[in-house]
Every structure is written in structure tokens, then in C-alpha cells.
Structure 1
Amino acid sequence: MSHTERMPRTRTYLMCPPEHFTVEYAINPWMDTTAPVDPVLALKQWQMLHDTLAELGHQVHVLDPQPGLPDMVFAANGAFSVDGTVYGARFKHPQRAAEAAFHQLFYAQGAWRFADPAFVNEGEGDFAYLPNAYGGLILAGYGFRTDPAAHAEAQEILGRPVVSLKLVDPAYYHLDTALAALDDRNVTYFPDAFSPASQRVLSQLFPDAVLADRADAEAFGLNLVSDGRNVVLNTEAAGMADKVRAAGYTPVTVDLSELKRGGGSVKCAVAELRP
């Protein structure tokens, strides 16, 4: 594909403002309970991300934040939707368990078909969807959060083939810290986050993938949101911005330094809604 053919597709997103965001517990290697979060800065940075997506022409719905759920800002984890069907989340850690019900309430207000999960899964944290790859392909991560049995469950509920990918580095505990869809058929990923067998699967499925390095991953450069042309990623991930630019995409940077304290960046804060 020539670079001039990279066309954006209008998306619909769900976000939740970090009004109650703190780092009071550590459920991933990035969370440091000794370093206080600046709540005003976190909200300002979140608003900039929200406004950036809206200015790119996308519709952004907002979920009401709830006291006592500081990680609700990471809206990607609350569910995973494909063609109007929603596979609900079931969080691994009790600190986040109550978030799932608020996401379910959001979908209950629309014309969505909602499926309760029997197995632990953390929504788009561990699921990615490529509608034009192999007729519609779901990539699914496991190893730290999502139960591998959720992958078969998602396939039955969503009616799309699911490819299981094993994550092996605890720093990249969710798929969305190690892999991202750049458009409807191609991805970028950090090979070392995956088992050798999963690396072979990815190289076979996506021979033209943009490969990231450890510095990109450590800067949360793979935790991005793309509309097929505009790739929104955090300011710190300068090397990743260069890579997507070289591949013909347009990097759009937003500073999310405060959210990184919770172990998330752009993608963690944004769920894609696929009616």
C-alpha cells in the first residue's frame, strides 16, 4: 500500500475522565504508590486527548467516573465490541472488578447485544480487532490478566476468529501495551513482549507490520489509537512516532505523563465502540 492511500475511518470512542484517579495500589509494574499523582494535570492531559480525538472527526462518548474506582480512566478495559455485540469484562484484580458493571450500564442504554463473560478478560486491554484482516480477525493476549479460556468464549460470542498470543514480559501485561492496530488490516508490535511461538504467528499473519523496539514499548508507544491515518500516541514515544511516520501514517502526540503512573497511556484511556 502506498503512503498516499492511508485513509482515516471515522470512529466512535468511549472515555472516562480521571476525576478519581490515584495510584493507591500496585497491580502492574508501572504503578508506584510512593509517587503522588497530580489530579489537576491528569485531568488536563485527559481532556487534551479527548479533544484531539474529537478534532480528528471522531465521536467520543464519556462514561461517568465513580468514586473509589481510580482506574476507571482506563476505559479500554471495560468491554470489547464487534459489530454491535459486546463481550463484557471480568477483571482479574478485585480493585477494578466494579468497573465492569458501569460499562455494562452504558451499553444497556443503546442497541447493543451484551454478553456477560464467564472468564476473566479485560476488554480491549487484551483484545484487538482488525475488520479487514482475513475477513475480520481478533487478536487476543494472555499470560498476565486475561484467562486463555476467554478467547474461545469471545470467538463464540462475537463470531470472529480469535488468535491467541502469549505475553511473556510482566511489564507488558496487556496486549495493548505490546501491540496496536494501525489500520483495519495491519499492526505494530514489540516482538520481545511475546513468546517465540506467538512471534512466529504474528510474523506470518502480518509480514508488513511495523516492528517496535524496547524503547518504544517502555515509552508506551504501542499504547496508541489510530484511525487508519492519524496515529495518536504519547509525546514521550518519539521513536515510535518516527516509525509510524516512516510507514506513511501521521503521528499526533499528546502528553499523558500522569496516566502512565497508573500503567496506561492513550489506548488504555480509549475504548473503540463498534456498532
Structure 2
Amino acid sequence: MFRRSSASLLRTFSRQRTQFLTEDAVLATSSGSPTQRNDSLLSANNSDSGVLRWSDPRSYSTKTLQRRVLTSMRDVAQSPIEFEPMPPRRLVFMVTPEHFDVTYVINPHMDGKIGTVDKAKCIDQWHVAREEIKKVGVKVVEIPSKPGLPDMIYAANLGLPFPAKSGVEVYMSNMAVEERAKEVPHYAEACESVGYEVKYLPANIDFEGQGDALWHGTRRLIWAGYGFRTDLRVYDIISSAWKVPIVALKLHDPFFYHIDTALAILDNDTAVVYPKAFTDEGLSMIRTLIPRLIEVPESDAKGRLACNCFCPDGENVLIQAGSKETNRKLKEAGYNVIEVDVSEFLKGGGSICCMKMFSW
């Protein structure tokens, strides 16, 4: 049985030097172009300690800008790995279930599911899930569902919050599919009602919020997916605005169209992962940066969306009931497994993690 190490992910990789990008090597995010590196423009600073740290570029001359969006093992190997702490999150937004249904197909999980949702059962399942979330000490803010927006229930996809110095900021999503675009204004209104600063991205850049952008526990690091619903270019904008490193992973299996269907951060050292959802290089990046991985078998990953579990506190894991092999591994790892039946919502391609937006 293993458990989190006291060192956590706040650790450093010993190396000979730290490399920075010169300002001329970075393309402006306003142009919509992703950050690029020109190796001829790289400069090196010797480190007295031989320890790499993720430094805030604002503390350096404007002539040096740090590469923050990592898309390859080479990027990881050349980058400092010490992540600043963040306050823990203890609040979720959830959309009420009255209008949930499967009325179209926009992911493989929906195929053959049109008209099969048991409305009474899904409402009961939602209320049980909400109460289980409350029991582990998380506040629930409810957003009323809207007619004609059956997927609005998957609140995780609607935006990405961040605890800025002036208060919580949230980037609203630009949904990749037309069927979900009208959900976003309702979530923006809910965010403004609790005092969040709402921010918008360029309209031509797709982004589906926490579906494709996962905070690493209580560390200022984002695990990001791209390839199906989110445009890689968005991460340069977010990284620049919030001064946070982002590890961007290409998704290549349509069953795992959001990163949160294949990866769940349990605490600062541990994650649940379905390896086949990622490229070989992407999986190597995960294994390099996350000390402990709990691998999910295909039967649980596809059949029960077990990677779409929710661990709000590093101790309790809410997960689809019946994920036997994954639940066994979680218990052996020392986690308190809370099985929740949200099987009606699996028909739309999401489980307990998709059903909430985790925030501060």
C-alpha cells in the first residue's frame, strides 16, 4: 500500500542550468499563435545550487520570458519543476438536472443513447451525488438548468476559475460544438453573482474549461488536454495571464475527448490515469511529473468513466459505483472510496467530475 510522500510535488529536479526564452522567441498570444521556441535564442543561467526552480518571469528582465506551455518531453527536461502552492478549493457549481437528456450525439458515449434517459432516476442520482459532495465538506452552488440545453448538467466544461490576488477570476469556455454554446452565458451570470471576475477568450479559439484543464491539487500547475474540444493555442493565453505553467497533452482517442475522462489528480503526488488515452510522449510526461499513478483498466475507463472521479481533499474519492478494479486500487492506496451511481449521466459522456465546476 502506498500513500503520498511528505515531499509532495513541491520538489525540484537537479540540473546544471536553467534555460530561458528571450522575448523575441515568443509569439504574442494576441495573434492567436502558440508560443514557439527558437533554439538559437536560448540563453543559459548557471545555478549555484544546481537546482531548477520554476521562477516567476516578472522577477527577471523583460528580455527574458520563461516557456510555460510544455508540449513534449524535451520541454519537460529543459524546464524547472517547482510549483507554487495554491489555496485548497472547497466549493463546486452544479447545474440542476431537470432538463438533462440525450437528444443528439456529440461524443461516442452518446451513440445509441438518444431517448434512453430515465428522468426520474437521473434527478434522484443527481441529488444523491450533491449530498455526497456536501458530506465531504464542499459547498455546492446550484445553477438552474435551462430548457433546450440538455448538456448544461456537465458544469465542469463551462469555464476555468483561478484564485487571483484581487479575487477569483474565471475564463469562460468557447464550446467546440454548437449544441453547447448557449450554456456559457448562464454560467457567466452565476459566476458574476458570487463576485467572480469573468474573462473571455478570442472567439476563434475553442476551450472547454475544466473538462480540458485540471489544476494539480494545491499547486499552481495545469494539466491540459487538446485535440478534440480544446485548441492548443488557448494555453498560451491562460499561462501568460495567470503566470502558471501548463503541461499540454494531445488526446487521440475519441472516447476520451476531454482530459478529465482520462486523468484525475487526487493530490499533489497521485493521479488516476487511463494510459491508452494519451500518446506515448504524453504518458511519459505524466509519469515524469506525477510520482504515483493509479492505472485504470479499460473496462472501468470506458464502461464507467472511472477516471472522471472527483477527489476534493486528497482523501475522499467520489467515483461511479461498480468500478471494481479501480476502487480496489484506490482503497489499497489509502483513499476513502465513495461509490456514487450517476449511470444516467454516463449516457451523455460524463460522470461525477463532469457534473461540477470545482472552485474557491
Given the two structures, how large is their TM-score scaled by the length of structure 2?
Answer: 0.72
Give the Cα–Cα distance (whole angstroms) in 2 for the partners of residues 45 and 101 of structure 1. Answer: 26
1:51 Cα deviation after fit: 0.5
Q: Does 1:54 find its partner at 2:134?
A: yes
Paired position in structure 1 for 2:23:
none
Give the Cα–Cα distance (whole angstroms) in 2 for the partners of residues 33 and 131 of structure 1. Answer: 34
Give the Cα–Cα distance (whole angstroms) in 2 for the partners of residues 18 and 271 of structure 1. Answer: 15
Q: Does 1:123 find its partner at 2:209?
A: yes
Q: 1:255 to 1:2 in 2, by over 3 A?
A: closer
Paired position in structure 1 for 2:306:
221
Paired position in structure 1 for 2:14:
none
Q: Would you say the 8 A contact 2:173–2:209 is kept in 1?
A: yes
Q: Would you say the 8 A contact 1:132–1:185 is kept in 2?
A: no
Query: What are the within-5 Å matches in structure 2 for residues 55-134 of structure 1?
Result: 55-83=135-163, 84-118=168-202, 119-133=205-219
Give the Cα–Cα distance (whole angstroms) in 1 for the partners of residues 3 and 286 of structure 2. Answer: 22
Q: Would you say the 8 A contact 1:3–1:249 is kept in 2?
A: no
Please give the per-residue CA displacement for 1:30-78, whole angstroms capped at 9, x wherever unaligned. 0034452111101100110000011122101101101110001101111
Q: Would you say the 8 A contact 1:225–1:267 is kept in 2?
A: yes
Paired position in structure 1 for 2:95:
16
SS in 1 for 2:224: strand
Please, which moves more after superposition, 238-247 or 45-54? 238-247
SS in 1 for 2:253: coil
RMSD across aligned C-alpha pairs, in angstroms?
Answer: 1.7
1:237 Cα deviation after fit: 1.5
1:181 Cα deviation after fit: 1.0
| Letter in structure 1 aligned against 2:125 | Q
Choose from 228, 236, 257 the match for 1:152: 236
Q: 1:184 to 1:63 in 2, by over 3 A?
A: farther
Give the Cα–Cα distance (whole angstroms) in 1 for the partners of residues 199 and 324 of structure 2. Answer: 39
1:184 Cα deviation after fit: 3.8
SS in 1 for 2:354: helix
Q: Would you say the 8 A contact 1:181–1:226 is kept in 2?
A: yes
1:4 Cα deviation after fit: 11
Q: Would you say the 8 A contact 1:168–1:194 is kept in 2?
A: yes
Paired position in structure 2 for 1:251:
337
1:160 Cα deviation after fit: 1.1
SS in 1 for 2:134: helix
Q: 1:34 to 1:131 in 2, by over 3 A?
A: closer
- Max radius of gyration: which structure? 2
Q: Would you say the 8 A contact 2:103–2:115 is kept in 1?
A: no
Give the Cα–Cα distance (whole angstroms) in 2 for the partners of residues 233 and 99 of structure 1. Answer: 25
Equivalenced residues, count: 269
| Letter in structure 1 aligned against 2:325 | G
Q: 1:61 to 1:184 in 2, by over 3 A?
A: farther
Higher relative contact order (CA 8 A, sep 6+): 1
Q: Would you say the 8 A contact 1:85–1:158 is kept in 2?
A: no
Paired position in structure 1 for 2:106:
27
Q: 1:253 to 1:131 in 2, by over 3 A?
A: closer
Q: Would you say the 8 A contact 1:13–1:270 is kept in 2?
A: yes
Paired position in structure 1 for 2:327:
241
| Letter in structure 2 aligned against 1:14 | F
| Letter in structure 2 aligned against 1:142 | Y
Gaps of 5+ in 2: 7-87
1:157 Cα deviation after fit: 2.6
Give the Cα–Cα distance (whole angstroms) in 1 for the partners of residues 242 and 275 of structure 2. Answer: 27
Query: What are the within-5 Å matches in structure 2 for residues 191-206 of structure 1?
Result: 191-206=275-290
